[in-house]
Structure 1
Amino acid sequence: MRERRDTLKNPEQELRIFRVRSLLAVLLVFAMTGLLMGRLVYLQVVQHEVYSTRSEKNRVRVEPLPPTRGLIYDRNGELLAENRPTYNLTLVRERVDDLDATLTLLVRLLELPDEEAEAFRVRSRQRQRPFQPALLMSDLDEDQIARLAVNRHRLPGVEVEAQLLRYYPDAEIMAHALGYVGRINAEELETLDTGRYAGTHFIGKTGVERFYEDALHGQAGLRKVETNARGRVLRELGRTDPVPGQNLTLTLDKELQQLAYELLDGRRGSIVAIAPATGEILAMVSVPGFDSNQFVTGIDVASYRALQEDIDLPLFNRAIRGQYPPGSTIKPFLALAGLVEGVITPDKTIFDPGYYQLPNDSRRYRNWLRWGHGRVDMERSIAVSNNTYYYSLAHDMGIDRLHDSMSAFGFGQRVGHDVFGESTALMPSRDWKRGRFNQPWYPGETLSVGIGQGYWQVTPLQLATATAVLANRGQWVKPRLASRIGDDPVPLALPETPADIELASDGWWDKVFSGMEKVLSGSEGTARRTGVGLDYRMGGKSGTAQVFSLGQDQRYDAEELAERLRDHALFMAFAPLEEPQIAVSVIVENAGGGSTHAAHLARAMTDAWLLDDEEPDVEELREAMENDTGNVAGN
């Protein structure tokens, strides 16, 4: 029996097994303790900064502080663009658990119609920098703010921010000159400085707002805030203040700008006024205008579609992008070119039978006065706007010299210093036609250029600039819209200013000016009715630009034509002749003769600028234009 018990139980063996197991357990405990201690050392010592930063981020949030956009003033300190307090709705996608559910709730709380709701969802998904707020909606009303506040616990990542929003007090009158700001889009986001534009939702889109964006915007700041578990701000821990944008003082005169807008009386057209000595743009109006404030907060689909489909093109800036045949307004410039090239002299005369013929060509290029003006010299050719004189002059000069001479006045070029979006229009040439149509230049086309028709196209700003250069007796001062950026004046000597135009004799300027003065004061002047009662000496030139071409034996009859097929009315002028203070160009689309419509508007502009104690009576002016039968058939 004893041997059997020894077989069933071996204490020594069990003791050895126990000791081995105990040792293994102790080693395992020590190993696990070592690992735990090692992990604690790693987390608390080696990775201390990493986890300390993560912990701090759960408690501390860095928020960007957008800068205050600079204000814009007119030359007299009148406010043209200001910033008004408003509440914006923003969303940080990274802090939203269920974006679709959040957007659905927001649309319901804000009571958005279907079209706006879709745009709302599109904005929420636009590309954005990580943890940067995306602007969903601007200018919230009190009811919307209240509903969002009540439901804030259901909207993580959604904030209502108090910010300053751009506002234009005279939006429709200043829309094309000032431009407007709008929401930053995905394409702009890729090119913008991320630090400078942190927290910024708006950027200059057009006009002055676009050109001077760098000066107006400023530099973003930031602040550190402590938050609770729900993300609500408890206190501010520190901040770097933003640098506000610089204020901008323009050369525009608000009252003159408003007068120009009223003078056009809703008719499609443009008026540009420049101070010749300084190049300051005093007024630059395009009619019709539009409410630029709509674009700041985001114009609704229906309103934008209405603007796009409007047959009068209110979004189109006629002052800098409208391209029109200059008509007879360019005859003073051509006369000077003929003198410089030695093709004419001030006293040279031609006989006008009412038409001009090229050598060996039976076609007659007619003067506007069908029976002709008889014997015509340079001064009289300007005063009566004789076409035959300039057909002959253009033929003798040729298109190459015409092109070079007119380019010296700025035609076919961008002339403004800070005018965003300006068109070059077109000063045609032999090379241009070959490249555009793969055709040679024909002599008859030179004659059309000689009276400002054919391929030649100008903008109202170009015409006003050329008139200012003429008033300066050839001295170029580049047109500009800004006079001061902050406290720094914009210099008169601007880069890329064209070379001055020099004549062999100063008397040639006087001869051309005399012809232009007779346009308004001479017994045969095409705008003599406009010049009645002038209190100063003024030089001008009317022009009528054809919308479509007439046959050789056809006569123009405005009454038989649809309104949009009638001629454009143009006028350019400067005053006073001795020391010009204002140069003006006026273009009224489909208004007929420049001497009866545009001339009166130019006179009203010069009166308003030169005669401080006299405000033009717009209603009286309209009656004068209606009663003035002037030279509608001519120039």
Structure 2
Amino acid sequence: MKHKKRKIGVFTIFLAVGVVVVAAALMLRGVFRSFPSADEVLEGYMSCILEKDYDRMYQYLDDTSRRIISREDFISRNQNIYEGIGTTGLQVTISGAESEENEVAYSVSMETEAGTVTFNNHARFTKEKDGYYLQWDDSLIFPDLLSTDRVRVEELKAQRGTIYDRNGLVLAGQGTVSSVGLIPGKMSEEPSEDIRRLAGLLDTTEEGIQEALQQSWVKEDTFVPVRKIKKSGVENALLGEAGAPGSQLEQELLAIPGVMITDTEDRVYPLGEKAGLLVGYVQAVTAEDLEANPDKGYTSQSRIGKAGLEKLYEDRLHGTDGCRIYIEDQNGEEKENLAYREKQDGEDITVTIDYQLQNDLYDAFAQDKSCHVAMNPKTGEVLALVSTPSYDSSSFVLGMSENQWNALNDNPDQPMYNRFKASFAPGSSFKPVIAAIGLSTGKLDPDADLGKSGTSWQKDDSWGSYMVTTMHEYPEPSNLKNALIYSDNIYFAKAALQIGGDVLAEQFDRIGFQEEVPFVFGTTPSQYVNEGGSLSDDILLADTGYGQGEVLVNPIHMAAVYSAFVNGGSMIRPVLEYPETGAPEYWIRDAFTAEAAETVRSSLIQVIESENGTGHGARVEGVVLAAKTGTAEIKDSKEDTGGTELGWLAVFTADPARENGLLLVSMAEDVKDRGGSNYLIGQEKELLAAWTK
């Protein structure tokens, strides 16, 4: 048998300009007397794949092939396979010779969802008067593909990384939830009342349940999922709410004919609302997410971190799904593997948070609007970040009803508001900052008596009726230590005036005011004046001295400032992951002088130890603690006699040599008529005893 020698050709098919296309008109029978060669016909046929022009592909088939497969079946078969495997690139190399039987050998390299598929193949042609036509069968798609075979695409789901606390306890990870559904064949003959009861128990709609039952794939014995509920030990709290015990809820659900409860896997958040604003949640990706992350392996079925740690660490937690493409025969047996892309699970992340401390702090203030930052002042490891009230992250994952969403958004206590990221008026908890600045700059003598002024004072008559007031008179000298023990507003108003507005502004800027804390959570910057303002006004300057005026401080920033009192004047950098070096990092070295830090530290110990100290109620036997309380007035104007109050408590283990110390900064809203800052002491007394010994 003789063969005509052929020049080997290579062509690459793209969707862009330059696609090698043989126009369909060339294939219309009888139009031209000269016609393309067999390999050019093959090029034209293959070019249709990426253009998804399966109708034009059919025109390349010979008469025999057209009698075997209809246009509709041909289009369906090719479209389902090529689009199903996600064909995005195609290179065809003509590698053989045209024989008397009109056969062309070629090789294919095809880009798919599972990677590159390559194979060698051959195409046979029928030569008719007006040109070459393909003798088509399924092997032209893949060499070993039969008409009875199926091409399967198996998605290999990557596991999202788990978030662990410092002790290896799960804060967010894969776990078991309950799926509540219906088996149609076991439902009542008149199920409308049962559906109404089920909708009520699951806080969903009757219409939604009906739509689920009417899906095309549903059969009499099919389990039709209706809603997932949280599974937690002996309880199944509905969607994260404190509901009936699991046994009772299950009994009510299972009493409805056709209801079935099965276990399934999903993202779980063991601490629930106690870490909601810390850990955050994941949700299904949106079109905007896909557009913003085009090359990160997301699909329409992916989930993405939307808040908290889930969002902050998304790039590391998010895995990349794998994919496998294979041929399955008519018996359901795998016949040939075509392509495989290995999945890449997300990274597990261990944070410095202590699960139990996070739990205990939330429980202590669950009924309040509050925030709390617990930190090791020597290492910067953040041990707890609490904001109350909060939400249960599981609600977003398992599905939130309209009622639940409205309840969250309409709640006046704002459970979606992350208070530990915000800034608030610090009140007297700010006085140690003023003291440290005054001592470091030499503007304040700790032993100097700034004079007795009773419980109200003003600089001079230029202040009109405005007076600085304080709660207590005391017999001891009005020096720094006593002013901190008794929380003397008048002393610190005088101290601020003595230091001066320019010096204070310069030092505030040095210790991180007007900028975000260098921390994984973005925070509202602390401020000492409103935008565009200054400390040139004496009344504003005096009020700044005791944490009023226009001062707003973020609690994480406050914790970093207080850390300087056990670090020789340097402010630790807060961290949520252990530093790679293992050594603590300082945010601002020498924020205060070592002498100033020591003077403030020793004075704050007396706030606890002295019976007259405002923090004496927080004293723990056998532990040296230092603290400062604070009550900030929130009112519309200086003349406002109403308004509300914020309570603060900043307390820390005062031994500079202690490596496992605790620094806790807490703020609670609406403490007026509840004891002011003493309310926080009462709530934290037992917790401090347990966590500082």
Q: What's the TM-score, normalizing by structure 2?
A: 0.64
Structure 2 equivalent of residue 340 of structure 1: 440
Cα deviation, 1:112-139, whole Å, max 9, x if unaligned, reads 737858999xxxxxxxxxxxxxxx9985
CA RMSD of aligned residues (A): 4.2
Residue correspondences, number: 508
Structure 1 equivalent of residue 170 of structure 2: 79
Change (3 A) 1:466 1:604: farther
Instruction: Trace 1:397-408 onto structure 2 (pairs within 5 A).
Output: 397-408=499-510
Moved more, 63-72 or 266-275: 63-72
Change (3 A) 1:433 1:397: same
Contact kept, 8 Å, 2:566 with 2:654, in 1: the verdict is no
Change (3 A) 1:476 1:283: same
Structure 1 equivalent of residue 10 of structure 2: none
**How much has 1:209 moved relative to structure 2?**
0.8
Instruction: Trace 1:589-608 onto structure 2 (pairs within 5 A).
Output: 589-592=669-672, 593-608=675-690
Structure 2 equivalent of residue 60 of structure 1: 151
For residues 385 and 327 of structure 2, the distance between their equivalents in structure 1, rounded to whole angstroms, comes to 51
2:327 corresponds to 1:235 = no
Cα deviation, 1:139-170, whole Å, max 9, x if unaligned, reads 59999xxxxxxxxxxxxxxxxxx985211111
Structure 2 equivalent of residue 37 of structure 1: 127
Instruction: Trace 1:39-438 onto structure 2 (pairs within 5 A).
Output: 41=132, 43=134, 59-84=150-175, 113=205, 139=228, 164-194=265-295, 196-198=297-299, 200-226=301-327, 235=334, 237-238=336-337, 239-321=340-422, 323-354=423-454, 355-361=456-462, 362-369=464-471, 375-419=477-521, 421-428=522-529, 432-433=532-533
SS at 1:169 equivalent:
coil
**How much has 1:29 moved relative to structure 2?**
13
Structure 2 equivalent of residue 539 of structure 1: 626
Percent identity, aligned pairs only, is 25
SS at 1:535 equivalent:
coil
SS at 2:558 equivalent:
helix
Structure 1 equivalent of residue 600 of structure 2: 512
Cα deviation, 1:29-59, whole Å, max 9, x if unaligned, reads 99999995158845369x9977879999993
Contact kept, 8 Å, 2:281 with 2:394, in 1: the verdict is yes
SS at 2:446 equivalent:
coil
2:551 corresponds to 1:459 = no
| Among 526, 529, 548, the residue aligned to 2:617 | 529
Instruction: Trace 1:448-487 onto structure 2 (pairs within 5 A).
Output: 448-483=543-578
Cα deviation, 1:272-313, whole Å, max 9, x if unaligned, reads 110011111111111112211010133222210110001111
**How much has 1:476 moved relative to structure 2?**
3.0
For residues 177 and 472 of structure 2, the distance between their equivalents in structure 1, rounded to whole angstroms, comes to 65
Contact kept, 8 Å, 1:60 with 1:226, in 2: the verdict is yes
**How much has 1:596 moved relative to structure 2?**
1.3
Which has the higher relative contact order, 1 or 2, with Cα contacts under 8 A spaced 6 or more apart?
Answer: 1
Change (3 A) 1:119 1:525: farther
**How much has 1:371 moved relative to structure 2?**
5.4
Contact kept, 8 Å, 1:328 with 1:452, in 2: the verdict is yes
2:683 corresponds to 1:584 = no
Change (3 A) 1:163 1:579: same
Letter in 1 for 2:520: D
Letter in 2 for 1:418: V
The structure richer in helix per residue is 1
SS at 1:246 equivalent:
coil
Change (3 A) 1:393 1:576: closer
**How much has 1:84 moved relative to structure 2?**
2.9
Change (3 A) 1:295 1:425: farther
For residues 424 and 209 of structure 1, the distance between their equivalents in structure 2, rounded to whole angstroms, comes to 23
Q: Structure 1 unaligned runs (5+)?
A: 1-27, 89-106, 121-135, 144-161, 435-439, 612-635
Change (3 A) 1:463 1:503: closer
Cα deviation, 1:583-611, whole Å, max 9, x if unaligned, reads 11111111234541123445444322222
SS at 2:548 equivalent:
coil
Q: Structure 2 unaligned runs (5+)?
A: 1-31, 36-61, 64-101, 103-124, 180-194, 213-224, 231-249, 254-262
Structure 2 equivalent of residue 571 of structure 1: 649
Cα deviation, 1:154-191, whole Å, max 9, x if unaligned, reads xxxxxxxx985211111111111111111111211112
Contact kept, 8 Å, 1:220 with 1:242, in 2: the verdict is yes
For residues 137 and 543 of structure 1, the distance between their equivalents in structure 2, rounded to whole angstroms, comes to 51
Q: What's the TM-score, normalizing by structure 1?
A: 0.70
SS at 1:332 equivalent:
helix
Letter in 2 for 1:596: N
Moved more, 598-607 or 169-178: 598-607
Change (3 A) 1:375 1:29: closer
**How much has 1:195 moved relative to structure 2?**
5.8
Letter in 1 for 2:432: P
For residues 86 and 235 of structure 1, the distance between their equivalents in structure 2, rounded to whole angstroms, comes to 33
For residues 172 and 344 of structure 1, the distance between their equivalents in structure 2, rounded to whole angstroms, comes to 46
For residues 225 and 412 of structure 1, the distance between their equivalents in structure 2, rounded to whole angstroms, comes to 59
For residues 539 and 417 of structure 1, the distance between their equivalents in structure 2, rounded to whole angstroms, comes to 25
Letter in 2 for 1:207: G
Contact kept, 8 Å, 1:356 with 1:391, in 2: the verdict is no
**How much has 1:210 moved relative to structure 2?**
0.7
